[in-house]
Chains A and B, each alone.
Chain A
Amino acid sequence: MSAGILLNATICFAITISSFAFAWVLARDDSGHNDKSKPALWSLIVLWVLVGLTYLPTTVRMIAASLGNQQLDLLMYYIAAVPFSFVSVPLVFFILYVIIGDQRISGSISALFVLFGAAYLTFFYSSGVIGPTITPLTSLFTINSDIAINIYLIGLFVIPTAMIIGLLFLIFLQRMPKRLRYRTALPLVAISFVFDFMLTDMITLDDTMQLAARIFVLIGTVQAFLAYFPPMNLQEKLGIQKYESNLYEKDDGTDFDDDEEVDINV
């Protein structure tokens, strides 16, 4: 049993737990969001659930690899491929809905990515995988289909990543309050982190790179959590805290303007 593989399993488990927890917290706060943002919110919840569902079998896979159970390792790799190949669907819906605001168009275009995902899975399952190669850090499989990798790279990775970058540019080019900039840009950066490093994780043949990619996926998940629920000291440091106007007591009868007026009259 290698300590490296166990560390890898722990990281996968941490990603699973934090993704599910984040999805749950977002779903719990559903009533706090306006009707216009709800479709985007639910696509985000589905996205994080899919991330969690990808890393749950991966955790079991790592444990199986550390115990030398190659059959379970392979089975879990096949299971993890299913949620993984559909991660881009809610992501594309989220970005398109936020930009154009039309649920039907966003839904139709994201349905195309279901086809991409299904095509990827078809080639992936029909061609099979080579491995596992057990290293001190992880267990690696090689996808035995160039078409599957190409579909993944072009359909599932390049287009959604380009969409995220486009939306980020749209936000950065606009002058807006710091708080809003933080609230809109950081979730996108976090999603981009998770999404891009998930790809690296899936197709890399280097064990150190895979472990590093998983650490970055975990960082991305934490980053997403911080984007939606920034701690008070971080808010103060960044100057993004929201002041509640109803905390102000209005019943003392005087305010700054009245005092100023008195001074002027004197």
Chain B
Amino acid sequence: MSEDIDVMLEQQVAEFYQSLGIHQGPGDIQYRLILKVLGKNEGRITEFSEIREYTDRLADKGSIGSKMKTIFQLEGLAEKVKRGGYVITDKGITASNFLKDTTAFYKKNKRMGEIIERMP
């Protein structure tokens, strides 16, 4: 997986899910970005600094570190393999695939919403 991560798009998708009352998982921008970076580095070690490249403008270091521990490590989506180094697990890949579906759903919904908006 080598696709680029579009932070703006991820933020829009997260806001869309928040507007549906889903504030966690797909509606959480931190969760989305962390999982995106982990997914992008499948089979390789993801450095914490790499995650922060995307999350720094949206969240502080502490809350990202906390999210890594309380969600990603606790639920087994990522494993800590060294100090500041994580690898995505199979379960994490499943979550990453689900995240892609949520982006696709957002895009489909947005496209249809625009079509309906243009219908007189």
User: A-side interface residues toward B, CB under 8 Å?
Assistant: 26, 33-34, 36-41, 44, 97-99, 101, 170-171, 174, 176, 180, 183-184, 187
Contact = CB atoms under 8 A, between A and B. Distances in A.
A183 B120 CA distance: 9
Contacts of B115: 98-99, 101, 170-171, 184
18 contacts: A26-B120, A33-B120, A36-B114, A36-B117, A37-B117, A37-B118, A39-B118, A40-B118, A41-B120, A44-B120, A97-B118, A98-B115, A99-B115, A101-B118, A170-B112, A170-B115, A171-B115, A187-B119
Interface in B92-120: 108, 112, 114-120
B119 to A, nearest CB: 5
Considering residues B108, B117, B120, which has the most beta carbons from chain A within 10 angstroms of its beta carbon? Answer: B120
B59 to A, nearest CB: 32
B118 A36 contact: yes
Nearest to A44: B120
A183 B115 CA distance: 12
A239 to B, nearest CB: 18
B112 A37 contact: no
Nearest to A184: B119
A170 B118 CA distance: 14
A184 B114 CA distance: 12
Contact of B120 (A37, A99, A101, A180): A37
A174 B118 contact: no
Top 3 nearest A-B pairs by Cβ distance? A41-B120, A37-B120, A98-B118
B119 A37 contact: yes
Nearest to B108: A174
Contacts of B108: 174
A184 B115 CA distance: 10
A98 B114 CA distance: 8
B117 A34 contact: yes
Contacts of A40: 118-120
A166 to B, nearest CB: 12
A206 B112 CA distance: 42
